Amino acid sequence: MTSTVPRPSSSPRGTDVRPAISLRDAALSFGGRTLWEGLDLDILPGEFFAVLGPNGSGKTSFLKVLLGLQPLDAGTATIDGGPVTRGSRALGYIPQQKSFPPETPLRARDLVGLGVDGHRWGLRLRDRGYRGHVDRLLRDVGADSYADAPVGLLSGGEQQRLRAAQALATDPAVLLCDEPLLSLDLNHQQAVSSLINRQCHERNSAVVFVTHEINPVIDYVDRVLYLADGKFRVGSPAEVMTSEVLSELYGSPVEVLHSNGRIVVVGLPDATTHHHESA
Amino acid sequence: MDLQDIVDALFTFDNYAQLLPLVRNSLIAGAVLGLLGGLIGIFVMMRDLAFAVHGIAELSFAGAAFALLVGANVVAGSLVGSVLAALVLGFMGIRARDRNSIIGVVMPFGLGLGILFLALYEGRAANKFGLLTGQIVSVDDVQLNLLVGCAVVVMLALAAIWRPLTFASADPDLAEARGVPVRGLSILFMVLLGVSVALSIQVVGALLVLALLITPAAAALRVSSAPGVVVLLSVVFACTSVVGGILLALGGRIPISPYVTTISFAIYLVCRMVGSRRSVRRSRPAEPAVAAVTSLR
């Protein structure tokens, strides 16, 4: 195994709770290059789990495995005790912000509605609580003021709140987020990350949060998986975000500074792919 | 030809009452195709397939011209041509960039083939011209049944996949994560689009299919974003264009398509004017400059 980093205990709390996500000896490679292998991991309900690392380290692939869109090369992955299945109701997914074209024929409520029943065949002939459910979701994410506005005319931050409402439609046991704050302004970053935090710590969903940038969610994160160069490290932010650990992962000297509750990483080998120091 | 002749050619309503029963079949076909075009056009717009429609239409024209040449059923020839083209685009053109270049390559080839077949054909010239610019009184009972039957099948299929297709068209990444078979739906939609193009060609002709499959939906999208309203408007616009076009063409000596395209263009212009006020009302101030900083990769 290429991981030379000693792994701390894979489960942070007691073992009497069934893990929401469980990986055993999992390995994934891409184009002949090993992204990660020998990954043993249990993520518990109500845990905010951040996945960090440079571009190409396999962060997004990690999510794709959990979404059932990418098979593992070795090992097993289970979600909520069962095998990973694509489109599982136990999963919510918030992708990167992507703007909708201005002429998309959907209002905010219709977009959220797709999260409720967009995967079903046929036309929606009877309401069956659909409208009430959508209204509730819109209120939850603070989007009721623009519920009837065309999605194509909303700002990126407003659209991303709707994405969050879509993902929460099934009250998922596991919420997977792929850089959900990217290209949002600070206000919306805070709003969206606190929404995700609420689903995690109040409604007991396990959150897997893939990001370049730990600072916007630093107050919420329980544990970190740091991927770099085919190696990884799992632990609390205090354990992982240190000069020693990151230098070992990158194989070159990296300095981690703590300032005002924020983490600043200096001297990354490929600074263009990383920006812990911004924001 | 002075102005009076031109007006007479465009609008003559002598003997209108006697002519009307002759185009009964065309009117029914036009209304059904309007309904179909209005519905499928919404997804064409959402999936950015306007150029694909044009490409499919040229291949469909080639198929129809070949059928004419060998004495086969023209509608069937047209169907074969457009479904083949739609499948090629469905399987090869996943990304918009690839798709557009494939269309750009395939379309002139299809048009060239069609012209070859027409040049070899020695029958009535009106038949040739009709494939490109549309025909009006040629819909017999057999053709009408075929058209309506195919249109109903396409519309039923569209209803069955409406929600997941909307999901997959608006947000393919999320739809895929939710278990929607995005790729399968994409190919199925291309087949439905191919059939719709082939049917529309029978009335408006290969060159002007866009007026039936794009313009009404594009006009509807200018004035509303509520899905129900968009569907209703798009269908009403398409039916108005086709049926209105047939009724106007009846009196004159020219093909139906100029009337259809003019009506649908006029509707689009009005909708654009109405819609420009709407987008001004909804426009908001740009996001703060900090957004640009945090989005640097």
CB contact under 8 A, A118 and B226: no
Whether residue B252 contacts residue B11, with contact meaning beta carbons closer than 8 Å, is answered with yes
User: Does residue A74 lie in a domain region?
Assistant: yes
User: Does residue A278 lie in a domain region?
Assistant: no
Burial A23-42 (b: 16+ CB within 10 A, else e): bbebbbbeeeebbbbbbebb
- Interchain contact B288–A (C-beta under 8 A): yes
Overall domain count for chain A: 1
- What pLDDT score does A11 carry? 47
| C-alpha to C-alpha distance for A215 and A186, rounded to whole angstroms | 11
Span B148-158, pLDDT tens digits: 999 999 999 99
From A270, which residue of chain B is nearest by alpha-carbon distance? Answer: B297
Task: Name the least confident of A99-103, B71-75, B228-232, B293-297.
Answer: B293-297
Q: Which of A15-19, A106-110, A268-272 has the highest mean pLDDT?
A: A106-110
Residue of A97, A121, A187, A217 for testing the chain B interface, max B β-carbons within 10 Å: A121
Residue B111 in tokens: 């048009």
Task: Name the least confident of A5-9, A85-89, A163-167, A247-251.
Answer: A5-9
- What pLDDT score does A49 carry? 96
Q: What is the CATH number of the domain that holds A75?
A: 3.40.50.300
Instruction: With H, G, I as helix, E, B as strand and everything else as coil, classify residue A51.
Output: strand
Please tell me which of the candidates B162, B170, B173 has its beta carbon nearest to residue A100: B170
Length of chain B: 297
Whether the pLDDT of residue A15 is over 60: the answer is: no
Name which residue leads in pLDDT, B28 or A268: B28
User: Does residue A10 lie in a domain region?
Assistant: no
Whether the pLDDT of residue B89 is over 60: the answer is: yes
Whether residue A4 contacts residue A231, with contact meaning beta carbons closer than 8 Å, is answered with yes
- What pLDDT score does A5 carry? 41
Q: How confident is the model at residue B6 (pLDDT cuts 50, 70, 90)?
A: confident
- What pLDDT score does B95 carry? 67
Residue of B49, B178, B215, B235 for testing the chain A interface, max A β-carbons within 10 Å: B178
The Cα-based distances of B268 to B221, B234, B279, B282 in angstroms read 10, 10, 16, 21
CB contact under 8 A, B227 and A105: yes
Q: Using alpha carbons only, how large is chain A's radius of gyration in Å?
A: 19
Instruction: With H, G, I as helix, E, B as strand and everything else as coil, classify residue A27.
Output: strand
- What pLDDT score does B251 carry? 73
Whether the pLDDT of residue A9 is over 50: the answer is: no
| C-alpha to C-alpha distance for A272 and A278, rounded to whole angstroms | 11
Task: Name the β-bridge partners of A174.
Answer: A91, A206
- What pLDDT score does A166 carry? 92
Task: Write down the mean pLDDT value for chain B.
Answer: 85
CB contact under 8 A, A183 and B166: no
Residue of A96, A125, A178, A185 for testing the chain B interface, max B β-carbons within 10 Å: A185
**Cα B84 versus chain centre, distance:** 17
CB contact under 8 A, B227 and A106: yes
CB contact under 8 A, B177 and A91: yes
CB contact under 8 A, B163 and A151: no
Q: What is the mean pLDDT of residues B198-223?
A: 89
- Interchain contact B180–A (C-beta under 8 A): yes
CB contact under 8 A, B293 and A149: no
Span A196-213, pLDDT tens digits: 999 999 999 999 999 988
Please give the share of chain A, as a percent, with pLDDT higher than 70: 91
User: Does residue A9 lie in a domain region?
Assistant: no
Q: Where are the beta strands (DSSP E) in chain B?
A: none
Whether the pLDDT of residue B292 is over 70: the answer is: no
- What pLDDT score does B61 carry? 92
Which of chain A's residues have a Cβ under 8 Å away from the Cβ of B272? none
- What pLDDT score does B70 carry? 92
Q: What is the mean pLDDT of residues B42-68?
A: 92
Whether the pLDDT of residue A271 is over 60: the answer is: no
Name which residue leads in pLDDT, B193 or A4: B193
- What pLDDT score does A232 carry? 92
CB contact under 8 A, B297 and A102: no
Task: Name the least confident of A26-30, A266-270, B237-241.
Answer: A266-270
Name which residue leads in pLDDT, B125 or A40: A40
Span B130-153, pLDDT tens digits: 777 776 556 778 888 988 999 999
* Farthest-apart Cα atoms in chain A, separation: 62
CATH 3.40.50.1370 fits B3-279, yes or no: no
Residue-by-residue DSSP string for B121-170: --S-HHHHHHHHH--SS---HHHHHHHHHHHHHHHHHHHHTHHHHHHHHH
Please tell me which of the candidates A103, A118, A153 has its beta carbon nearest to residue B178: A118
Whether the pLDDT of residue B295 is over 50: the answer is: no
- What pLDDT score does B37 carry? 95
Residue B283 in tokens: 């426009």
Span A124-171, pLDDT tens digits: 877 778 999 999 999 988 898 999 999 999 998 899 999 999 999 988
Instruction: With H, G, I as helix, E, B as strand and everything else as coil, classify residue A36.
Output: strand
Q: In terms of residue numbers, what domain contains A222?
A: 21-273
Residue A54 in tokens: 């440079």
Name which residue leads in pLDDT, B82 or B277: B82
User: Does residue A1 lie in a domain region?
Assistant: no
Which of chain B's residues have a Cβ under 8 Å away from the Cβ of A153? 225, 279, 282-284
- What pLDDT score does A10 carry? 47
Interface of B with A in 158-177 (CB under 8 A): 159-164, 166-167, 170-171, 173-177
Q: How confident is the model at residue A96 (pLDDT cuts 50, 70, 90)?
A: confident
Q: Nearest CA of chain B to the CA of A35: how many Å?
A: 21
Which of chain A's residues have a Cβ under 8 Å away from the Cβ of B284? 153, 155
- What pLDDT score does A16 carry? 66
Whether the pLDDT of residue A186 is over 90: the answer is: no
CB contact under 8 A, B284 and A120: no
Nearest to B35 by CA among B202, B216, B204, B239: B239
Check the CA dihedral B247-B250-B251-B255 and report its sign: positive
Residue-by-residue DSSP string for B6-35: HHHHH---TTHHHHGGGGHHHHHHHHHHHH
Whether the pLDDT of residue B56 is over 60: the answer is: yes
Whether residue A135 contacts residue A108, with contact meaning beta carbons closer than 8 Å, is answered with no
Q: Where are the beta strands (DSSP E) in chain A?
A: 21-30, 33-43, 48-52, 74-79, 82-83, 91-94, 174-178, 206-210, 223-228, 231-235, 255-259, 262-266
Which of chain A's residues have a Cβ under 8 Å away from the Cβ of B296? 275, 278
Cα atoms found within 13 Å of the Cα of residue A176, Cβ hemisphere only = 25
Q: What is the mean pLDDT of residues A215-226?
A: 94
Query: pTM of the entire structure?
Result: 0.85
- What pLDDT score does A218 carry? 92
Domain ranges of chain B: 3-279
Task: Write down the mean pLDDT value for chain A.
Answer: 86
CB contact under 8 A, A111 and B222: no
Which of chain A's residues have a Cβ under 8 Å away from the Cβ of B282? 149-150, 153
Check the CA dihedral A101-A104-A110-A116 and report its sign: negative
Q: What is the mean pLDDT of residues B108-120?
A: 90
Q: What is the mean pLDDT of residues A265-276?
A: 62
Residue A91 in tokens: 């999963």
Which of chain B's residues have a Cβ under 8 Å away from the Cβ of A156? 287, 291
Whether the pLDDT of residue B223 is over 90: the answer is: yes
Q: How big is the CA angle at A93 (ends A89 and A96), to the nearest 5 degrees? A: 165
Q: How confident is the model at residue B257 (pLDDT cuts 50, 70, 90)?
A: confident
Whether the pLDDT of residue B213 is over 50: the answer is: yes
Q: How confident is the model at residue B289 (pLDDT cuts 50, 70, 90)?
A: very low
Which of chain A's residues have a Cβ under 8 Å away from the Cβ of B290? 185-186
Whether the pLDDT of residue A277 is over 60: the answer is: no
Which of chain B's residues have a Cβ under 8 Å away from the Cβ of A119? 163-164, 167, 175, 178-180
